[in-house]
Amino acid sequence: MGILDLTALELGRKIKAKEISAVEAVQAVLEQTKKAEPAVHAYVSYDEESALKRAEEVQKKIDDGTLTGPLAGVPVAVKDNICTKGYKTTCSSRILENFVPTYAAQAVENLIAAGVVIIGKTNMDEFAMGSTTETSAFGPTKNPWNQEHVPGGSSGGSAAAVAAGECFMALGSDTGGSIRQPSSFCGITGMKPTYGTISRYGLIAYGSSLDQIGPMAKDVSDCAALLEASASYDKKDSTSIERDEYDFTSALVDDVKGMKIGIPKDYFGEGLDPEVREAVMAAARTLEKKGAVVEEFDLGLVDYAIPAYYVIASAEASSNLSRFDGIKYGYRAKGAEGLHDMYKKTRSGGFGPEVKRRIMLGSFVLSSGYYDAYYLKALRTKALIKQEFDKAFASYDLILGPAAPTTAPKLGESLSDPIKMYLGDIYTISANLAGLPGISVPCGKDSKGLPIGLQLLGDCFQEKKLIRAAYAFEQTRTYEAPEIVKGGVQ
């Protein structure tokens, strides 16, 4: 068994046992990255030299006993909208092409303290706006399972990097499904925690009230460990929530006896691929066999989540992205005549079409005369959706469904029709509106050999229930890596 076949926690244990050094682990990942990147393009940038240097430092600290955590020495990738101090953070946008933050996101600080080695920054849809990683200004990421297909998005680079063995685990961010959907498309496990669990400080905002950083990894255990290492109550983020406990790995228990799982009928209607449906229903039966009580129910308001989401996310984005103006950092257009011309040329040249589309929509729905009809209406809808979930969680511990209606589409298929692309987020988006935690776990493959993801949603602060059920389900399967990893470095 080669280094790349290990999970992050297995690797961490072997590093601690001195069977593998942190440097060897990083070397293995870098070699695989060099091999896979031309086909996958998971990274916006990675830095071999600094990764190796960091691995040496970490190894020293492991040796002298200052670093003892389970992830010490593990190579990790970070989505390129999460600030890394002294290291380029671009949001896959031309407007931030050369931006080097002088501060790190709190989640990154936490991971560094846990002793991980950051390999590089992963590709994404520009400013996390998209579901395919095709809106990146630096070219699309390809699905490691089949390079004619997208990896999903917006955290497509992180998902692909994990699946292709270019790192052991990665941080993504999820505003409407951007962790869970690419995890599903790439056959890995990804989790969006309860809003406020991982600090947003240093996460470059898209929709502030919906954005949440989360872990992406090969399995549920790694995911729980990465969540545990990244989460913290952060006084720099006013929306950070002080949790009673952060020991998420304690929920890695193979037991779902008596757990009540609801399946929303509305999630299995029109638009759902039959193969996805079959795999997800099979997963539900598996959990039932293991002792869970599974039943169907009416969730309601499912169709209203996407329009509400696009109003809220676009409105917040139009304001959040106004700071990119060519003055303090990033791209500035040359040859502008005067201030306003500079603003316009910079922003028009620096942002891609999808970002501009959402900024325009967001500016419009907030503009004079439309605020009530669109923005407040969307916030009211959000309140009703939250009520629906409250009702559901009064009866069920978890909600089970697909992470996405289909497996990964081919490159170029989705962008032509934005509404159709947005509809792909139908199962994931409401968790962001209601602040809920959700996890996507691989549950099979379609006839084309593309992975299918099972999504579990929990009530706010019920990550442990999610982890337990996902872990129990995972015990019935074995992790499968795509070809690009097999035959990799031994």
Partner 1 sequence: MSKQYETVIGLEVHVELATNTKIFCGCSTEFGGAPNTHTCPVCTGMPGSLPVLNKQVVEYAVAVGLATNCSITQNCKFDRKNYFYPDNPQNYQISQLYLPICRDGHVEIETDGGTKSVGIHEIHMEEDAGKLIHDEWEDCSLVDYNRSGVPLIEIVSEPDMRSADEVVAYLEKLRLIIQYLGASDCKLQEGSMRADVNLSVREAGAEEFGTRTEMKNLNSFKAIRRAIEGETDRQIALLEEGREVTQETRRWDDTKEKSYPMRSKEDAQDYRYFPDPDLVPVIISDEWIEQIRDAQPELRDEKRRRYKETYGLPDYDIDIITGSKHLANIFEATIDHGAEAKEVSNWLMGETMRLVNDSEMDLTDISFAPEHLAALIGMVKKNEINRKVAKEVFEKIFKEDVDPKAYVEEHGLKSMNDEGALKETITQIVSGNPKSVEDYKAGKKKAMGFLVGQTMKATQGKADPGVVNKILKEILESL
Partner 2 sequence: MANHISDETIEYVGILAKLELSGEEKEQAKKDMESMLDYVDKLNELDTDGVEPMSHVFPVNNVFREDIVTNGDDREEILANAPERKDGAFVVPKTVE
- Any contact of residue 285 with partner 2 (CB under 8 A)? no
- Any contact of residue 282 with partner 1 (CB under 8 A)? no
Identified binder of partner 1 from the candidate list 43, 46, 87, 99, rule CB under 8 A? 99
Gap between the Cα atoms of 181 and 172, Å rounded = 11
Nearest to 346 by CA among 329, 363, 364: 329
Interface pattern 409-448 for partner 2 (x via CB under 8 A): ---------xx--x----------xxx-------------
Place of tokens 């929920």: 251
Cα 435 to chain center, whole Å? Answer: 15
- Any contact of residue 348 with partner 2 (CB under 8 A)? yes
Phi, psi torsion values for 63, nearest 5 degrees: -65, -40
Catalytic residue among 21, 35, 79, 158: 79
Gap between the Cα atoms of 251 and 268, Å rounded = 29
Q: 314 catalytic, yes or no? A: no
- Any contact of residue 467 with partner 2 (CB under 8 A)? no
- Any contact of residue 472 with partner 2 (CB under 8 A)? no
Stretch in the footprint of partner 2 (CB under 8 A) among 10-18, 170-178, 359-367, 451-459 = 359-367
User: Both tokens of residue 155?
Assistant: 């955290």
Closest approach of partner 1 to the CB of residue 303, in Å: 24
Residues 231-250 that bind partner 1 (CB under 8 A): 235-239
Torsion, Cα 149 150 156 162, to 10 degrees, reads 0
Q: 131 catalytic, yes or no? A: no
Identified binder of partner 1 from the candidate list 363, 386, 413, 489, rule CB under 8 A? 363
DSSP state of 134: -
Catalytic residue among 136, 178, 318, 430: 178
- Any contact of residue 382 with partner 2 (CB under 8 A)? yes
- Any contact of residue 348 with partner 1 (CB under 8 A)? no
User: Both tokens of residue 423?
Assistant: 């509809």
Gap between the Cα atoms of 81 and 99, Å rounded = 11
Stretch in the footprint of partner 1 (CB under 8 A) among 277-285, 326-334, 382-390, 443-451 = 326-334
Stretch in the footprint of partner 1 (CB under 8 A) among 157-165, 318-326, 381-389, 397-405 = 318-326
- Any contact of residue 304 with partner 2 (CB under 8 A)? yes
User: Both tokens of residue 313?
Assistant: 């996310």
Q: How many residues does the chain have?
A: 490
Residues 352-367 as b/e (b if ≥16 CB within 10 A, e otherwise) read bebbbebbebbbebbe
DSSP string, 275-300: HHHHHHHHHHHHHHHTT-EEEEE---
Pairing of strands 260-264, 398-402: parallel
CA angle 360/363/366 to nearest 5° reads: 145
Closest approach of partner 2 to the CB of residue 373, in Å: 9
CA angle 222/224/227 to nearest 5° reads: 105
Between 308 and 452, whose beta carbon lies closer to partner 2? 308
Closest approach of partner 2 to the CB of residue 205, in Å: 15
Residues 364-403 that bind partner 1 (CB under 8 A): 366-368, 371, 375
Task: Name the 3-class secondary structure at 306.
Answer: helix
Stretch in the footprint of partner 1 (CB under 8 A) among 1-9, 259-267, 317-325, 352-360 = 317-325
User: Both tokens of residue 328?
Assistant: 């303090």
Closest approach of partner 2 to the CB of residue 397, in Å: 20
DSSP string, 117-185: EEEEEE--SGGG--SSS-S-TT----BTTBTTB---SSTHHHHHHHHTTS-SEEEEEESSSTTHHHHHH
Closest approach of partner 1 to the CB of residue 103, in Å: 6
Residue 378's binding partner among partner 2, partner 1, none (Cβ under 5 to 8 angstroms by kind) is partner 2
Nearest to 194 by CA among 158, 248, 157: 248
CB 450 within 8 A of CB 143: yes
DSSP state of 203: B
Residue 316's binding partner among partner 2, partner 1, none (Cβ under 5 to 8 angstroms by kind) is partner 1
Between 222 and 325, whose beta carbon lies closer to partner 1? 325
- Any contact of residue 378 with partner 2 (CB under 8 A)? yes
Point out which residues bind partner 1 (CB under 8 A): 82-83, 89, 91, 96, 99, 101-103, 105, 200-205, 207-209, 235-239, 315-316, 318-319, 322-325, 327-329, 339-340, 343, 363, 366-368, 371, 375
Residues forming the active site? 79, 154, 178
